[in-house]
Structure 1
Amino acid sequence: MSEVELPSWTAVHDAAAALRLGTTPAELHGALTGWYAGGGADAPDWLARVMADDALPRVPGDTPLDALNAASRTQLEDRGFGFELLLPEGDASLGERSGALFDWCRGFLGAFGLAAGENPPLSEEGEEALGDLAKLAAATAQDDGDEDDEDALAEIEEFVRVAVLLLHGDCVLAPRHRKSFN
């Protein structure tokens, strides 16, 4: 687990609503993570860059969205693999949680594409992971399920977490390491 915790779902929801962002906390975190995993730069206007909307304001410091940005960057760089997905709490319905996971994947893919460009330097495993994330982004949530569905959702969440770390490794860490050898 990372030393830096994500802000709560509710705090991010309220902060996004205050800025009138038309996005869920999951989609926003997915986009933010996709931006950084694809090699996007941290900048004062990160929200406008991540959401591809120049009209969005700069996020004030010491707010849940600022904390989300800082935690996302830190968790991706955590050598202990402490990266987490911002998803609804476990007491939310299976439909809410699976829908949020698919929103997260949609946000990730959009911002990853913006940051990484048309031909990101992906390994074969990275290409496969990106394709699998695209399939998840196209999925629709089911309203209810049983224990097997709960287990499947947990496995998918873990897959997404590992896929993101792999893509970040391909697009950010590998080029950084190659540079340090030159």
Structure 2
Amino acid sequence: MSQLPTIQEVAAASRELGLAATPAELHGALCGWLAGGGADARDWTARVMADASLAAPAAGSALDRLREGTAAQLEDGDFAFQLLLVDDESATRDRAQALFDWCRGFLGAFGLAAGAKPPLSEEGSEALQDLGKLAGAQVQDIDEDEEDEASLSELEEFVRVATLLLHGDCVLGPRHRRSFN
């Protein structure tokens, strides 16, 4: 299974390309693009940021490894897909903000790739609406306690599973339908 680069590697590579997105938002955008049926292409940054002037990440760079690892995780039948957020040791508030940033990135790129009427199941439609609510959320006062930590972990798992569900609806389902025809 492909390992994703570290959040620090993605941040540094993102700065080198002049991208304004946080690493979490950038990974969310990549995941949204791929889950919506966008091409797994080296110039993914230009595609997900809707800016044709952006240079493609160099082969083997952190952003290229991010694309390769993410695409492999989404295709993995063992559901190994993981979100690239912030370090687990980060404050709950920072982790929540990273999750909301990730969701914002996901929604924008998913819309670019999937279009106005993606082939979503009822569950996929609900998941997309819930991701939209998370993308619009603001971090409120958070106590660094076990209850908030548990709630955040549940949200992270929901986002992970929702991403896999949407990828299944928009990529795997149509691919399997074509193979039967």
Measured after TM superposition, the shift of residue 19 of structure 1 is 1.2
Q: How does 1:18-167 map onto structure 2 within 5 Å?
A: 18-142=16-140, 144-145=142-143, 146-167=145-166
Report how many aligned residue pairs link the two structures: 180
**Contact map agreement 1:98 1:142 (CA 8 A) in 2:** no
Q: Extract unaligned runs of 5+ from structure 1.
A: none
**Contact map agreement 1:27 1:106 (CA 8 A) in 2:** yes
What amino acid is aligned across from residue 24 of structure 2 in structure 1?
Answer: A
Identify which range, 59-68 or 38-47, moves more after superposition: 38-47
Q: Distance in 2 between matches of 1:50 and 1:31?
A: 6
What amino acid is aligned across from residue 160 of structure 1 in structure 2?
Answer: V
**Contact map agreement 1:30 1:108 (CA 8 A) in 2:** yes
What amino acid is aligned across from residue 107 of structure 1 in structure 2?
Answer: G
When residues 181 and 107 of structure 1 are mapped into structure 2, their CA distance, relative to the original with a 3 A threshold, is: same
- The two structures have a TM-score, normalised by structure 2, of 0.97
What amino acid is aligned across from residue 64 of structure 1 in structure 2?
Answer: A
- The two structures have a TM-score, normalised by structure 1, of 0.97
Measured after TM superposition, the shift of residue 44 of structure 1 is 3.0
**Contact map agreement 2:2 2:72 (CA 8 A) in 1:** yes
Q: Distance in 2 between matches of 1:7 and 1:113?
A: 25
Q: Distance in 1 between matches of 2:119 and 2:127?
A: 13
- SS across alignment from 2:153: helix
Q: Distance in 1 between matches of 2:41 and 2:72?
A: 15
State the 4+ residue runs in structure 1 displaced beyond 3 angstroms: none
The alignment's C-alpha RMSD in Å is 0.8
Percentage of identical aligned residues: 62
**Contact map agreement 2:48 2:109 (CA 8 A) in 1:** yes
Measured after TM superposition, the shift of residue 42 of structure 1 is 1.8
Partner in structure 1 of residue 6 of structure 2: 8
**Contact map agreement 2:42 2:64 (CA 8 A) in 1:** no
**Contact map agreement 1:133 1:160 (CA 8 A) in 2:** yes
